[in-house]
Amino acid sequence: MSHTAELIAVGTEILLGNIANTDAQMLSEGLSALGINVFYHTVVGDNPQRLLEALAIARKRADIIITTGGLGPTYDDLTKQTICQAFGRALELHPDILEGIRAFFEERLGRTMPPQNEQQAMLPVGCTIFDNPVGTAPGCAFEEGGVHVLMLPGPPHECRYMFENRAVPYLKKLSDGAIVSHELKIFGMGESQVESLLRERMIAMENPTLAPYAKMNECLLRATAKAETAEAAEAMLAPVIEQLRELLGDVVYGMDVPNIETVVLRDLLAKGLTLSTAESCTGGLIAKRLTDLPGASKAFLGGVVSYSNELKRAALQVPGELLDQKGPVSQEVALAMVKGCRALTGSDLAVAVTGVAGPDKDERGNEVGTIYIALASPQGALCRPLPHTGRKERNVLRHRAANFALDMVRRWLEGLL
């Protein structure tokens, strides 16, 4: 039986544009991986009457309602009370949950629980409790008249934890069998190209299903199987994944990984190698993305943001005459930068980027999007131009140049370059 979910975010701060409803994106992606349809998102303010109306509409068109937000301790946190009113349930105090909130305050936040947090331990009679080890607001779920209502906290890191560790197990029990999905992450082949490559052979498959998605400068392919058990679903997926990997080749940079920098760091650590960066037009973006990852310091040594010619000379030993003759945006300078970076940092590998991110051409007339990326290893150095795609926006170009540089490192580490 197939389920339909509706997401209701509760929070005036979303309606004021103070924050984006990123919880809805995370939940939608997760529900899609579970094979649950999502037909509507709704956002409503901290207003009980309007939330009642949204609930009345949602229960007519969905059999799973997931709310986010409004579980906090203040007077305008009204999600539980309003849902109980809509579904005719009472709230009751759970002493063990109260104890947990008290302990969270004392151990994690180093202070005494304020009295108003007691209401966070009030939960609907007969619900499944979702205890929350990453915040103070527990979530919960109940079923009423064929509709499952799940309540999750609003702060994104709490919402994600509670969805993955509490809501997903609850939702999996609602389906007859098991649903397993895997994501192949792809850089260097667009969504439409992936789609046309797969259309004939595989896109019509019913179980497992395949769906490609475009992401910022990359794409992903999700394969989902339904079976009686997770093991059986995995067994159905294995040959499909193998076939996809064969078909797509080395543009697949990983499976079930969040991004390419994670793969680069993992591969560096596995091989015991170090990396450094010399960035002109990406201006620190590659270093920033690598150091977003906890533990990056074990393999990433840092580098130089050589935004000026002077710094290319002083820190990276790029010869002045090379800069004069070839210009800073050139294969030759990219190669000199990457060699200089490796010499400066003593890293095993180094990567360098120089180019024109726009909005204007450089003074030598290089077009926006002219970008060179070089990689140095103990075996030597090589340089590649960033392939053109027609996109000229500064942030898109910078992000794609960073992806390309990280992918060059991955390819070298995996013997693909």
Footprint of a second copy on 147-166 (CB under 8 A)? 157
Dist. CA 34–CA 172, nearest whole Å: 8
Is the Cβ–Cβ distance between 403 and 361 less than 8 Å? no
By CB under 8 A, what part of segment 69-88 binds a second copy? none
**Is the CB of 199 or the CB of 238 nearer to a second copy?**
199
Of 35-43, 83-91, 260-268, 377-385, which part binds a second copy (CB under 8 A)?
Answer: 35-43
Does 20 sit near a second copy (CB under 8 A)?
A: yes
* Cα–Cα dist 51/79, whole Å: 8
| Subset of residues 216 to 275 that bind a second copy, contact rule: CB under 8 A | none
- x-marked contacts with a second copy along 104-123 as a string, rule CB under 8 A: -----x--------------
Based on the shown chain and the rule CB under 8 A, indicate whether residue 57 belongs to the binding site for a second copy. yes
**What is the full DSSP assignment across 216-248?**
TTEEEEEEEEEESSHHHHHHHHHHHHHHHHHHH
101 binds a second copy (CB under 8 A): no
Q: How far is the CB of 144 from a second copy (least distance, A)?
A: 22
Q: Are 326 and 335 in contact (CB under 8 A)?
A: no
Q: Please tell me whether residue 194 binds a second copy under the rule CB under 8 A.
A: no
Binding to a second copy by residue 213, rule CB under 8 A?
A: yes
Of positions 311, 322, 381, 417, contacts a second copy by CB under 8 A: 311
Residues 370-389 that bind a second copy (CB under 8 A): none
Q: How many residues bind a second copy (CB under 8 A)?
A: 82
Please tell me whether residue 391 binds a second copy under the rule CB under 8 A: no
Would you put residue 190 in left (φ > 0), alpha (ψ -120 to 50) or beta? beta
Residues 322-381 that bind a second copy (CB under 8 A): 344-346, 358-360
175, 241, 307, 385: residue in contact with a second copy (rule CB under 8 A): 307
The residues facing 230 across adjacent strands are: none
How far from chain centre, in Å, is Cα 230?
Answer: 24
DSSP secondary structure, 124-175, as one string? ETTPEEE--TTSS--EEEEEETTEEEEEE-SSHHHHHHHIIIIIHHHHHHHS
Chain residues 131-150 in contact with a second copy, contact rule CB under 8 A: none
Q: Does residue number 38 form part of the binding site for a second copy (CB under 8 A)? A: yes
Here the tokens at position 359 are 């909005």
Q: Is the C-alpha dihedral spanning 167, 170, 173, 175 positive or negative?
A: negative
Q: Binder to a second copy among 294, 365, 380, 415 (CB under 8 A)? A: 294
Q: Does 28 bind a second copy (CB under 8 A)?
A: yes
Strands (E), 339-404: 349-355, 371-377, 380-385
CA dist 299 and 273 (Å) reads: 6
Residue number, 54 or 252, with CB nearest to a second copy: 54
